[in-house]
Amino acid sequence: MELFSEENSAQVVAASFINTRNVRLRSLLTGLTQHLHAFIKETQLTEQEWAAAIDFLTRTGQRCDSVRQEFVLLSDVLGLSMLVETINHRTQGDSTESTVLGPFHMVESPPKALGDNIALDGKGEPCLVTGQVTGPDGEPLAGARIDVWQANAEGFYDVQQPDLQPERNLRGLFTADECGRFWFCTIVPRHYPIPVDGPVGQLLAATGRHPNRPAHVHFIVTAVGYRPVTTHLFVEDSPYLDSDAVFGVKSSLVRQFPVVDDTDRAAEVGLDNPFRTVDFTISLLREVDPAPSGTECSS
């Protein structure tokens, strides 16, 4: 092996991976090495800065436990999670855009009947969600599965408030009807902060960034023969839509939640009057079609 120098550092390290059996692993390590060495050279990183980075990464790893993943949080606030999600789930035509899964899909959503109310404690602004799942040509996808979960009106998921919310509050797994349609009752979720009591919170503070995510309902939609989509439905009048801490907002996913004042309709769906409504059509790509290709890479 050629000896290491400032000039050839990345090449020497890349050459050390020559015996890697997994070709993809070798390619990933070579690319990572080139970028990290270029970063250090471009910034002329000091020894103190290097030591601070080592300390930050160590504390980030040690903040992880069975219910907290601080490295995912770091990936989120650097836009890395969203970028990986986006390049692995490109849209085509009018297909519904994806966004991050997030850390709160940790329990299975309970199966529900169309029209059920997933707000088990009834706290919050009542809301009727309607929608339809279709294929790329608008064909309705009968029997599509719609998995939804969301924060409550105070910005907390059930698993964050085990003593204050009923178990599996604001979670449901629905099956679309023969026309691909679905509907359920819930409450309007609230925006909320990601956890800030760890190294990632310190990073946000040091960079003058707020930790908030705009209000949203999570969806995972699947149908046999179609590509699943993991996405959010964002509430248009929520704060932080233009500065989501994890960069999850896509404008195609933002919807108005208009107020309906109609006692007959309220009685029909089982909600107090007035209530809010939103309609969310979800368009899936076919599994057999080739995955959409990316745009030119830009750094």
Smaller CB separation from a copy of itself, 32 or 267: 32
Distance from C-alpha of 241 to C-alpha of 239, rounded to nearest angstrom: 6
Smaller CB separation from a copy of itself, 7 or 163: 7
Contact between 217 and 186 under an 8 Å Cβ cutoff? The reply is yes
For the beta carbon of residue 33, count every other beta carbon within 10 angstroms: 19
Tell me the closest approach of the beta carbon of residue 184 to a copy of itself, in angstroms: 28
For the beta carbon of residue 290, count every other beta carbon within 10 angstroms: 8
Tokens of 81: 């999670």
Tell me the closest approach of the beta carbon of residue 136 to a copy of itself, in angstroms: 20
Distance from C-alpha of 1 to C-alpha of 4, rounded to nearest angstrom: 9
Tell me the closest approach of the beta carbon of residue 171 to a copy of itself, in angstroms: 23
Smaller CB separation from a copy of itself, 93 or 162: 93
Residue 290 forms beta bridges with which residues? Answer: none
Cα 151-156-162 angle, rounded to 5 deg: 115
> Torsion over CA of 113, 277, 257 and 82, rounded to 10 degrees?
20
Tell me the closest approach of the beta carbon of residue 62 to a copy of itself, in angstroms: 5
Residue 221 forms beta bridges with which residues? Answer: 146, 229
Tell me the closest approach of the beta carbon of residue 155 to a copy of itself, in angstroms: 21
Smaller CB separation from a copy of itself, 63 or 276: 63
Smaller CB separation from a copy of itself, 57 or 164: 57
